[in-house]
């Protein structure tokens, strides 16, 4: 089964051809440089860039895969969650191509795509991935922070999620307040590596709540207050052009940076990152205990996916804390952030295992974007 997949949920225009769970091509046109100066994704710019690049990206995906329209069985497209006017571009293109080539459309939840990024293989069927259901998925990105129990393919129960900011958003806001550019996660991680994570005390949000929900807005405020207290309100002069300089690998070893101020900034980054990750560790552990004690569900596999899963400190902490778990990450670099490959693989599993998958051929006019689309959930008994 060959699927052409499209994702235009946020600020990446992407198309892919998959064969079953193998990604044959995965073209991503990142618009990040157009959004950077605004410190985040701007919907109207995203829409305009999607419209401009979508045809090229789709043509390239087919060409790289060496597949012609005749061989395509389905068109998969992200229906949500995402930015309404951005999603619309992908959905309209899917409808246009479906009419032209008479192919059914499969509507996919973007979050399900992120889960399947860890179960996707390359064109040679690599890597070998072993897992058993039920598994736990921790989705951490610029827009989401969710802990999901996956009972089987396309069978989910959301256990907990952030009640305010997403973890990636929090990294971005802390970085922005230090004038470190966007996206903030990678810069904070680099600085944190050189800092002392115990230098400053920040508290883990929701640590004492009995549920599995999370929060990042309070941690952001705590960190911004710390920055102002330590550096005053005019600290951004110290970090001017920091992010572009950080691209030079030797910059951080540079003696100019070993000033008091730069030590404080590195220590703030490390102290913040430690607590941001700690909240995830605590809620994951709580989930495993609750599932076992209340529902007699033993989980052996944990998927960690989304842009923030690229963080090496986070990876190390999860591996050290959950030694008995089989932890699965997206199987290639491209699969961490938004891409159509994961949407195609999610479509393949939906078509095979989900009798209620959303397939449109005759009734395409019913297909519309759903900016806050939720995963279809089951009840835990």
Q: Which of 88, 112, 165, 338 binds ligand KG4 (CB under 6 A)?
A: 338
Q: Smaller CB distance to Zn ion: residue 165 or 338? A: 338
Report, in Å, the least distance between residue 305 CB and ligand KG4.
8
Q: Smaller CB distance to ligand KG4: residue 156 or 171? A: 171
Is residue 267 a contact point for Zn ion (CB under 5 A)? no
- Structural contact between residues 280 and 138, judged by C-beta atoms closer than 8 angstroms: yes
Report, in Å, the least distance between residue 45 CB and Zn ion.
17
Is residue 341 a contact point for ligand KG4 (CB under 6 A)? no
Taking residue 114's Cβ as centre, other Cβ atoms within 10 Å add up to: 30
Q: Smaller CB distance to Zn ion: residue 115 or 328? A: 115
Q: Smaller CB distance to ligand KG4: residue 169 or 301? A: 169
| Size of interface with Zn ion, in residues (CB under 5 A) | 2
Scan residues 156-185 and list those touching ligand KG4 (CB under 6 A).
168-169, 171-172, 183-185
Distances (CA, A) of 4 to 15, 66, 115: 7, 12, 19
Q: Which of 61, 265, 288, 308 binds ligand KG4 (CB under 6 A)?
A: 308
Q: Which two tokens stand for residue 378?
A: 């089951």
Q: Which of 90, 181, 307, 341 binds ligand KG4 (CB under 6 A)?
A: 307
Is residue 344 a contact point for ligand KG4 (CB under 6 A)? no
Scan residues 6-65 and list those touching ligand KG4 (CB under 6 A).
10
Scan residues 244-283 and list those touching ligand KG4 (CB under 6 A).
none
Q: Which does 90 bind (CB under 5 to 8 A by kind): ligand KG4, Zn ion, none?
A: none
Is residue 330 a contact point for ligand KG4 (CB under 6 A)? no
Q: Is the dihedral of CA 278, 281, 285, 286 positive or negative?
A: positive
Taking residue 96's Cβ as centre, other Cβ atoms within 10 Å add up to: 12
Helix (H, G, I), strand (E, B) or coil at 233: coil
Is residue 11 a contact point for Zn ion (CB under 5 A)? no
Rounded to 5 degrees, φ, ψ at 247 are -65, -25
- Structural contact between residues 86 and 8, judged by C-beta atoms closer than 8 angstroms: yes
Rg (CA), the chain: 21
Nearest to Zn ion by Cβ — which residue? 338
Q: Which of 113, 143, 205, 330 binds ligand KG4 (CB under 6 A)?
A: 143
Distance of CA 332 to the CA centre of its chain: 13
Q: Which of 186, 209, 282, 325 binds ligand KG4 (CB under 6 A)?
A: 186
- Tokens 């490390």, residue? 270
Report, in Å, the least distance between residue 49 CB and ligand KG4.
15
Concatenating the DSSP letter of every residue in 238-293 gives: GGTTHHHHHTSTTGGG-GGG-SHHHHHHHHHHHHHHHHHHHHHHHHHHHHHHHHHH
Is residue 338 a contact point for Zn ion (CB under 5 A)? yes
Q: Which does 142 bind (CB under 5 to 8 A by kind): ligand KG4, Zn ion, none?
A: ligand KG4
Q: Within 13 Å and on the Cβ side, how many CA atoms surround 31?
A: 29
Q: Smaller CB distance to ligand KG4: residue 10 or 58? A: 10
Q: Is the peptide bond before 8 cis (omega within 30 degrees of 0)?
A: no
Is residue 112 a contact point for ligand KG4 (CB under 6 A)? no
Candidate ranges 16-24, 148-156, 307-315, 324-332; the one touching ligand KG4 (CB under 6 A): 307-315
Q: Smaller CB distance to Zn ion: residue 10 or 106? A: 10
Candidate ranges 44-52, 120-128, 136-144, 217-225; the one touching Zn ion (CB under 5 A): 136-144
Helix (H, G, I), strand (E, B) or coil at 353: helix
Taking residue 146's Cβ as centre, other Cβ atoms within 10 Å add up to: 24
Buried/exposed 257-266: b ≥16 CB within 10 Å, e otherwise: beeeebebbb
- Structural contact between residues 172 and 185, judged by C-beta atoms closer than 8 angstroms: yes
> What is the helix (H) or strand (E) element at residue 5, kind and residue range?
strand 2-7
Which residue ranges make up the site for ligand KG4 (CB under 6 A)?
10, 141-143, 168-169, 171-172, 183-186, 189, 306-308, 310-311, 337-338
Which residue ranges make up the site for Zn ion (CB under 5 A)?
141, 338
């Amino acid at each position: 089964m060959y699927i052409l997949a499209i994702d235009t949920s946020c600020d990446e225009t992407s198309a892919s051809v998959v064969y079953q769970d193998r990604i044959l091509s995965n073209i991503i046109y990142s618009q990040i440089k157009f959004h950077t100066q605004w410190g985040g994704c701007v919907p109207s710019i995203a829409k305009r860039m999607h419209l401009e690049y979508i045809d090229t990206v789709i043509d390239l995906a087919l060409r790289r895969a060496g597949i012609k329209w005749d061989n395509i069985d389905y068109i998969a497209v992200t229906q949500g969650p995402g930015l309404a006017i951005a999603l619309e571009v992908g959905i309209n293109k899917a409808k246009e191509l479906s009419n032209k080539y008479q192919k059914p459309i499969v509507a996919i939840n973007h979050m399900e795509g992120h889960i399947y990024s860890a179960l996707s293989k390359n064109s040679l069927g690599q890597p070998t991935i072993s897992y058993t259901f039920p598994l736990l998925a921790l989705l951490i990105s610029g827009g989401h922070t969710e802990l999901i129990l996956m009972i089987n393919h396309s069978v989910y129960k959301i256990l907990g999620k952030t009640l305010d900011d997403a973890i990636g958003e929090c990294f971005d806001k802390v970085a922005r307040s230090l004038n470190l550019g966007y996206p903030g996660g990678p810069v904070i991680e680099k600085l944190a590596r050189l800092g002392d994570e115990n230098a400053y005390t920040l508290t883990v949000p929701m640590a004492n709540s009995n549920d599995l929900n999370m929060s990042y807005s309070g941690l952001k405020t705590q960190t911004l207050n710390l920055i102002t207290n330590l550096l005053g309100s005019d600290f951004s002069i110290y970090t001017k052009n920091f992010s572009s300089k950080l691209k030079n690998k030797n910059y951080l070893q540079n003696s100019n940076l070993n000033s008091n101020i730069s030590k404080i900034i590195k220590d703030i980054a490390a102290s913040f990152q430690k607590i941001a990750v700690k909240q995830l560790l605590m809620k994951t552990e709580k989930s495993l205990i609750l599932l076992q004690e209340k529902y007699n569900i033993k989980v052996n596999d944990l998927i960690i996916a989304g842009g923030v899963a690229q963080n090496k400190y986070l990876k190390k902490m999860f591996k050290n804390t959950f030694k008995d778990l089989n932890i699965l990450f997206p199987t290639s670099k491209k699969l961490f952030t938004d891409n159509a490959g994961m949407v195609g693989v999610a479509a393949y599993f939906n078509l095979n295992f989900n009798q209620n998958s959303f397939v449109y051929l005759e009734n395409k006019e019913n297909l519309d974007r759903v900016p806050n689309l939720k995963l279809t959930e089951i009840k835990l008994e």
